[in-house]
Amino acid sequence: MSSATPDQSAPELDTVLVVDFGAQYAQLIARRVREARVYSEIVPSTMPVAEMLAKNPKAIILSGGPSSVYEDGAPRLDRAIFEAGVPVFGMCYGFQLMAITLGGTVDNSGAREYGRTELHVSKSGSTLFEGTPAEQAVWMSHGDACSAAPEGFTVTASTDVVPVAAFENDEKKLYGVQYHPEVLHSTHGQQILEHFLYRGAGIAPNWTTVNVVDEQVALIREQVGSKRAICGLSGGVDSAVAAALVQRAIGSQLTCVYVDHGLMRKGETEQVEKDFVAATGIQLKVVDAQERFLTALAGVSDPEEKRKIIGREFIRVFEQAQAEIVAEAGEHGEEVEFLVQGTLYPDVVESGGGTGTANIKSHHNVGGLPEDLQFKLIEPLRKLFKDEVRMVGQELGLPEEIVQRQPFPGPGLGIRIVGEVTKERLDLLREADAIAREELTLAGLDREIWQCPVVLLADVRSVGVQGDGRTYGHPIVLRPVSSEDAMTADWSRLPYEALAKISTRITNEVKDVNRVVLDITSKPPGTIEWE
């Protein structure tokens, strides 16, 4: 996929609104719509319908939710949304709300269905179900059930328990299903969703990373003008792609700051200094603050205290660097007014949304910068999920090593050492981590896991036998996990051969390590990181 010329204005995109009724899957619905190459946004169910319609959506999807339509205070929706001529698709609670609002019948009869359920399609040639099997597995999660569709609707599917599990009104372009088509357990769910988007709503699948790049380049140029911007570059995917996108728009008006706190993995600082700069031509200011961070962390074992120290020191170093950039720019009459952040769409949704430019707040992902830093934000990734950010990075020509980099915590290896952080322990962990990453790559497992934290239990020692002698070394923990968004995660079932190679190499090549263990805890109850 190749990008259009940078100064080309991006066309206005068709937008699908996902109305969130408190569903655990609202973000997943938005992702599935985007996987169909249609742009989507999540809005709260409390948003007035007039405001929703003012966004000029091409379609609206009503999510599921934990409430019963009969509960006091349960979310409601103005009937006007169904009379505006905009195609609407209700799922689960949204389906029941559509039914009861338009005169159908929803019974609170105890007809419960949870988990995998067999769906019986009665109208196989319908808008939603054409080309799908008459019997298909779907994922249910409901207590109430629809027993009669509103007038003008055709019932197109049922289950053994629920007489109306799907209905359709092609004339008014209103559709609904009782189940969750967005989850993988609904075997033809994505196909049903795409049928609504393409056939029911008549939307063309034309949202691509080219759209994102072109749109953001135009917006950033308009926003920044002749001013300057800075970006805190961590080496992670989000900040790297955000920086590359802004650099595409304003070139030398952007300066990136990389703080080397000595807590990075092996080779990552060099990767940022060489590969990233070579790929983008970006202006990079590298601050070597390793001694400063090690001094501040000396004697500290409490994980929360370590996080606070690392965050505090990062702020101070970044402030100093940005002050130097501002001073240098001021000599040439160029004002540094903007700060680039790699905020993603889940961050926006989970913090309650919000639009426009804002001053830095302590909760932003730069690491808790003080509120008195009066930069305006540039957040070119705030509409994107993590996988979409990676695609934009590829579009911008960033190296695969950066684009496909696994998530890595801001405090770095400082929170992957259980115990005090010292240079010796960091060097030990860096070597073990490098071996694990290398073997996972050689085994072709990088894309199969979300990430694999490697943890040093620095305050724990165990007896071992190495070179015919007794040893008393540290254990290393491998924590491979699979996830879509890191909100929940399961431990990855890696091949024994790969685990064996990692264990053998670490115990052979890394001094003072005589044991490698595997963490097989899901999240919840465990977290992905140990500290």
Active-site residue numbers?
92, 180, 182
Upper half-sphere CA count for residue 306 (Cβ side, 13 Å): 24
Contact at 8 Å (CB) between 285 and 255? yes
DSSP 3-state of 141: strand
- The DSSP code sequence of 424-437 is HHHHHHHHHHHHHH
Q: Is residue 240 within a helix (H) or strand (E), and if so which, with residue range?
A: helix 237-250
Q: What's the token pair of residue 504?
A: 């053998």
Cα torsion 348, 354, 357, 359 to 10°: value is -80
What is the rounded CA–CA span in Å between residue 50 and residue 39?
Answer: 20
What is the rounded CA–CA span in Å between residue 117 and residue 312?
Answer: 52
Q: What's the token pair of residue 45?
A: 């169910």
- The DSSP code sequence of 177-239 is ESS-TTSTTSTTHHHHHHHIIIIIS-------HHHHHHHHHHHHHHHHTT-EEEEE--SSHHH
Residue showing tokens 């169904």:
82
Residue 72 backbone dihedrals phi, psi, to 5 degrees: -65, 130
Selection from 55, 13, 10, 63 nearest residue 34 by Cα: 13
The β-bridge relationship of strands 336-340 and 145-148 is unpaired
Selection from 352, 347, 343 nearest residue 44 by Cα: 352
What is the rounded CA–CA span in Å between residue 338 and residue 346?
Answer: 22
For residue 439, give Cα distances in angstroms to 81, 130, 252, 375, 520: 54, 46, 39, 43, 19
Contact at 8 Å (CB) between 415 and 529? yes
Contact at 8 Å (CB) between 474 and 461? yes
